Structure 1
Amino acid sequence: MLKVSENFTVGLLAPDKKSRLSSCQGHGHKLCVRFNSARTSKISDIQYCVDLVKKYDYENYLGTLLLPKNAQRAAFALRAFNVELAQVQDAVSENKIGLMRMQFWRDTVAKIIQGFPPQAPVATELAGACNYYKLSRRWLERMLESRAAQIDKDFFKSMKTIEEYAEHVNSSLYYLLLECLGIKNVHADHAASHLGKAQGIVTAIRATPFHASKRRVYLPIDILSKYRVSHEDIIRGNSSQHVKDAVFDIASIAHQHLEKARSLKSSLPPESNLVFLNASICDHYLKSLQKVDFNVFDGKLQHKNALLAYHMYANKLRKKF
């Protein structure tokens, strides 16, 4: 049975005084923070993050369990941070409230950088991960700012803008996970960039029925316009050939990014494939979408992949993704 490691690594729960730096040096890219070891020894903080990811991001929860034990706790902290940011837009009824919540997370990250993280489970665990692995500040801030910028928008202007958003949010998270495994490699970063874009595009397609129910459309306008598909067509759940053709184009770009990431496999350092195991999520959805002739509103697409954990574990054993 898979079990989450309670420690980032041996010795982290009692860092020496020299490691407790009160601030980042200059404008360096690495986070150096104070770390309240008494708080991090509380299993409730760890479990809170694990439960949050399990409830709202189950597929990536499964992938995180397949990471090396000494990186799981940090990975769950990062995943929990991402869940918190992702929930803001859907959890509020007014953009103003959403922007206020994003400001809270800006302040939280700033306090982590200054060495005084708020006494809250995700903040405490994130601070611990940043402290031990010296995670790059710019990736956390890029995730946060990109999510915040999207709060008052209910569309993506073009395929390029959705790719940029996916790079800033999803790829940044992959870069941080690679750092947790001590991987610094240009090919791994390249794979992370493409996989992040694939995941972001697939997420936009998968969530189309949900967003349509809230009168939001996150499929890129330029491709919808190319096939003369209006926002109202998507909101009404239109499954005409024009809509299917537009979805096919968007899915094809996601598939290209996925295949590009996989094509780099032979150049990747050992263990980096573990960070990319959730490529199976994108792969399964794109194949399922093809089976229903790219009808994004087909109910079959809402079924969970019961074999996902098996596929990811098999890929782990085969050292592939």
Structure 2
Amino acid sequence: MNERERAATVRRMAREADPDRAIAALFAPTAVRDDLLALVALNGELARIANQVSEPGLGAIRLQWWRDALVRAEEGEATGHPVADAFGAVLARRKLSRERIAGLIDARSFDIGETVMPDTRTLNAYLFDTAGGLFALSAEIAGAEGENRGLIAQAAGQAYGLVRVMRSLPVLAAKGRTYLAADALERAGTTPQDLFAGRSGPGLSGLLAGMREESRAALSEARFHLHGEGMKGTGLDEAGRTAFLPLALVEPYLNALAKVKDPLRDIARINPLSRLWYLMRAR
């Protein structure tokens, strides 16, 4: 596979894995577009592992393969995997945070080893490493300059990540998994077993309403720091802000989630053309 074929393959894999982030990347400067798509594709490959393996040990082996493959690919060795090779080249060019990349991979150990998010603290840490890590690495790729870049990524990851948790609820619950925190479910008067059995109710509805408000609050915080409102010079430059374009979809998804009749069976969606409009407006 030559470089042009590899790039086309990675773009396709990014679109299939995460259409929202992949489309948002198309609005980034040309010089960083393919690097952002390689990051999206990498995250998609890591996220797929939980559905590909039958036991945690096999998942751990695959995660270790990715750790080793990225090291080899960064050094210029061909791994035979288009995403590993593409992102290895990104690492060589961009010198991205090794801590963030390790967090992105390590967080997937939860996916392959657990079926219930034990508590809110663990959920927040997971969102920090996954959704937040993607925003932080995207900002590095885009060459974001400005104070509070890490703070913005953390708030953005919380806002965007909570939306993903709520949207994935029907699919995961049907498989006997949930990313809703067990302690939050208990306070709401329900349990993971209720979710797996398809039993919804006022408690779950109240919990999800609270999560939507939490997502909105995090979105407001991210936007505040992103644009430097009230703090001269602390916002990000224009190139850096493109790394956070997926935030434009948070509010539309929250509105769609609020209209869902059965949160255990209905997946909140937004119109693809509307998605483009939200992203274009946020540029």
State the TM-score, normalized to the length of structure 1: 0.80
Partner secondary structure for residue 148 of structure 2: helix
Alignment CA distance shift 1:50-1:207 (3 Å): same
Equivalent residue letter for 1:219: L
Partner of 1:57: 18
Deviation at 1:58, TM superposition (A): 0.9
Amino acid at match of 1:44: E
Counterpart of 1:273 in structure 2 is 241
* Aligned residues of 2:49 and 2:62 also touching (Cα < 8 A): yes
SS of the residue 1:200 aligns to: helix
Structure 2 residue corresponding to 1:97, chosen from 55, 58, 74 = 58
* Counterpart for residue 67 of structure 1: 28
Contact in 2 for aligned 1:213/1:235 (Cα 8 Å): yes
Q: Residue 262 of structure 1 is aligned with which of 198, 223, 235?
A: 223
Is the 8 Å Cα contact of residues 159 and 216 (structure 2) preserved in structure 1? yes
Query: Unmatched 5+ residue regions in structure 2?
Result: 229-234
When the two chains are superposed, the root-mean-square deviation of aligned CA atoms in Å is 1.9
Q: Which sections of structure 1, spanning at least 5 residues, go unmatched? A: 1-38, 317-321
Q: 1:128 to 1:85 in 2, by over 3 A?
A: same
Aligned runs of 1:305-320 on 2, under 5 Å? 305-316=272-283
**1:175 alignment partner, one of 136, 139, 144:** 136
Shift of 1:87: 0.5
Matched, 1:225 2:186: yes
Answer yes or no: is 1:160 the counterpart of 2:121.
yes
2:131 and 2:157 in contact (8 A); partners too: yes
- Correspondence for 2:255: 287
Higher helix share: 2
- Aligned pairs, number: 276
Partner residue of 1:148? 109
CA deviations on 1:143-164 (whole Å, 9 max, x unpaired) are: 1111124420112122221111
When residues 89 and 180 of structure 1 are mapped into structure 2, their CA distance, relative to the original with a 3 A threshold, is same
Give, as a single letter, the amino acid of the residue that structure 2 aligns with 1:128: A
Q: Which amino acid aligns with 1:282?
A: V
Aligned to 2:206: 245
- Distance in 1, matches of 2:47 and 2:92, equals 24
CA contact (8 A) 1:188 1:269 kept: no
Give 1:136's match in structure 2, choosing from 90, 94, 97: 97
Q: Cα deviations across residues 250-287 of structure 1 (Å, max 9, x unaligned)? A: 22222221111012223222222211111122221111
Alignment partner of 1:74: what SS? helix
Letter in 2 for 1:43: R
Q: Does 1:44 align with 2:9?
A: no
